[in-house]
Amino acid sequence: MKILRSIAAILVGAIVAVVAIGLIQMISNVMSPPPPGFDWRNQEQVRAHVGSLPWTAFAIVLCSYIAGSLVGGGVAAALASCCRVVHAGVIGALVLAMTVGNFAMLKYSMGVGHPDWMIVASLLSPLPVSMMAGKLVAALMAPPAAVENPPPAVGAFKSGEPPVRST
C-alpha cells in the first residue's frame, strides 16, 4: 500500500507542478504577447519574438519553475506516508528534467537561446526548492502518535530478565 501512495503522491505532485508552471508562464505571455499573425512554427518569427522580450518575461518564467517545484514538491511531500523530502526531491528532479528538455528543444530545434542568468538559475533552483518544500511539510505535519507502553509481543521476555532457554 505504501508504494501505491508514493506513486500517487509523485503523480499528483507532478501534475500540480506542471499546472503551476503553466499558469505562471501565462502571465509572461499576457505581459509580452506575440504580434498579430505570429506563427510559432516559423523559426525566424520565434527568434525575433524571444529576442525582443524584456528581462521580466524571463524572470517570470524562472519564477514559474521555482513556484512549480515548491508547490509540486510540497504536495508530493504532504501526500507521502514516509520519506517526504525524497518525494519532494523527485518532483524537483522532474521539473529539472523538463527545464533541460525545454532549453534543449528551443535551442536546437528553433535556434532560440535564453539569457545565461536564467539558464543557470533555472538549473540550480528546482531540486533545492522542492526539497525545502518537503522539509517544511515534514516539519509541519505531525508524525504518527507513538504508543506509550505497547503490549509485549508474544514470546517476549520481560525487561530486565535474562532470556531463558527451553531444555
Q: Are 33 and 8 in contact (CB under 8 A)?
A: no
Structural contact between residues 78 and 85, judged by C-beta atoms closer than 8 angstroms: no
* pTM exceeds 0.75, yes or no: yes
d(CA 46, CA 155): 74
Over the stretch 4-58, which tens digit does the pLDDT of each residue have?
999 999 999 999 999 999 999 999 888 888 888 888 888 888 888 888 889 999 9
